[in-house]
Structure 1
Amino acid sequence: MRVEARLFDITTGFFFLAAVVYGVWSREPAGTVGLILTGGLSLIIGSYFHFVARRVARRPEDNPEAEISDGAGEVGFFSAGSYWPVTIAASGGLAALSLAFMQIWLLVVALICILGAVAGLVFEYHTRPNATD
C-alpha cells in the first residue's frame, strides 16, 4: 500500500501547487477552489492508504528489490460469466436518466433495481450451510 500512498502524495502536492500557481496567475476563484478541493480529496485518499499501509503486511509491490515471481499466486476469484455487473450498470443508467428527466417514481424503481442487482452480485456464489437432519 505504500506505492499507492506515495502516488497520492505526489498528486496531492501537484494539485495544491497547481492551485497556488493558477490562483496567482489567473485570479479566478472558481478554478482555484476546484483545484484546492481536488487536492483535499487526493489528500483524504492518500491518508487512508498511509493508514492501511501501517496495518497490513508488506507486499511485493512495496519492496523495490522484489522479483515478479514474488507476486505469484492466487489473486482472488473473479466470475467470468456473471451478468450482474451489466445489470448494475443498466440500473445506474436508468437512475441517471430518471434524474436527468426528474422522474422521481423512475428513480425509486432504479434504486430498487440497483439494490437487487448488488445483492445478486454479492450472493451469486453464496451457498446455504448444510442442513443436518
Structure 2
Amino acid sequence: MKIEARIFEAIAVFFIVVGTIYAVATANYYTGPEWAGIACLYFSAMLSLLAGGYFRFVSRRVEIRPEDYDDAEIEDGAGELGFFSPHSWWPIAVAIGASLFAIGFASGNFWFAIGSALVIVVAATGLVMEYYVGPEKH
C-alpha cells in the first residue's frame, strides 16, 4: 500500500504545482484570475492527498505485500486474490438504475430521477447482501 500512497502524493504535488502556475498565469491576464480552473486544480490536489493519506494509513495496518518490495518478482504475488461473484445480475441492475437516474436528472424529470435512485439503492443492497441469504436460497 505504500507505493499507492506515494503515487497519489506525487499526483497531489503535481496538481499543486500546476495550480500555482495556472493561478499566476491567469492572474496576469487582462480579465483576472480564472477561479474555476484554480479551484479545480487545488481540489484535485486535495482529493489525491485524501486518497494518498488513506493508503498511507492503511499501509500501517496491513501486512507487507509483494508490491511493497523493490526486488519482488511477479510470482511473489501468485495465489488467491479474493472472491468475485461469477454470475451476479445485480451490477447490471445498478448500471441500469444509474443510467436512468442520469437521464432523469439531465432531462429535468426529478421524480423519475428519485425513482431511479430507489432502483440504485435496492440493486446495491441486493449486490451487497447477495451471499448473505443462506446456502439453501442459491
TM-score by length of 2: 0.86
Unaligned runs of 5+ in 2: 28-32
Match of 2:96 in 1: 90
Percent identical pairs in the alignment equals 42
Q: TM-score, normalised by structure 1?
A: 0.89
Alignment of 1:71-86 (within 5 A): 71-86=77-92
Residues 23-70 of structure 1, C-alpha deviation per residue, up to 9 Å, x if partnerless? 112223321222111111111111111111111111110111112111
> What does the per-residue CA deviation read over 1:76-101, in whole Å, with 9 as the maximum and x for residues that have no partner?
11123322111101100111111112
Q: CA deviation at 1:124?
A: 2.3
One of 52, 60, 63 as aligned partner of 1:54: 60
Pair 1:42-2:33 in alignment: no
- For these two proteins, the number of residue pairs brought into alignment is 130
Q: Point out 4+ residue stretches in structure 1 off by more than 4 angstroms.
A: none
- Separation of aligned partners in 1, 2:114 and 2:8: 36
Q: 1:1-133 maps to which residues of 2 (within 5 A)?
A: 1-27=1-27, 28-30=33-35, 31-128=37-134
Aligned-residue Cα RMSD (Å) equals 1.7
Distance 1:79 1:128 in 2: 15
